[in-house]
């Protein structure tokens, strides 16, 4: 029986030794896995920091674009206001022209005769001016073409007495 006791003690000690060896192997494996996880986390941190930098740059650009869009929107608003003012001004000018037109259309009778006379005089003057201009252009053209003949030199008074 003592043998059984000693043999069971040896088996128990061997079992504890085997458990210790397996625990050590498991711990080494866990240590190696933890090292790999640590390196993976470092790579993830590096990539995340790159992504963070790029996202910050993108955020800065987005803010710049938003500010530019806001300034252009303000400019467009001022242009819209100017357009409204222009519409009001054009309406005022239109009303002024209409008032002048109405006033000219309803002239008193005493001015009607004077206006007819002035119109007739200006028409006659324009016809005369354009006729002289046309004749001058025609004579200049004929002179350039060599078609205008020279008049003979007039004789002296003495030549007529003979």
- The domain locations on the chain are 1-106, 108-148
Dump pLDDT digits (tens) for 115-141.
888 889 999 999 999 999 998 888 777
Mean pLDDT within 38-57: 92
CB-hemisphere CA count at 13 Å for 33? 6
**pTM for the full predicted model:** 0.38
Burial of 134 (C-beta count, 10 Å sphere; 0-12/13-18/19+) = exposed
What is the spatial distance between Cα 96 and Cα 16, in angstroms, rounded to a whole number?
114
pLDDT at 18: 95
């Amino acid at each position: 029986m003592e043998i059984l006791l000693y043999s069971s003690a040896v088996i128990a000690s061997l079992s504890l030794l085997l458990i210790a060896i397996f625990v050590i192997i498991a711990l080494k494996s866990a240590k190696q896995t933890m090292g790999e996880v640590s390196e993976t986390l470092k790579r993830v941190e590096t990539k995340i920091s790159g992504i963070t930098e790029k996202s910050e740059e993108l955020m800065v650009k987005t803010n710049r674009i938003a500010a530019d869009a806001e300034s252009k929107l303000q400019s467009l608003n001022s242009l819209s206001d100017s357009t409204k003012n222009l519409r009001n001004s054009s309406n005022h000018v239109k009303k002024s022209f209409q008032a002048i037109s109405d006033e000219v259309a309803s002239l008193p009778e005493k001015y009607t005769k004077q206006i007819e006379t002035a119109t007739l005089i200006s028409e006659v003057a324009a016809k005369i001016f354009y006729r002289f201009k046309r004749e001058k252009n025609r004579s200049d053209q004929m002179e350039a073409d060599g078609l205008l003949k020279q008049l003979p030199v007039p004789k002296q008074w003495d030549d007529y007495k003979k």
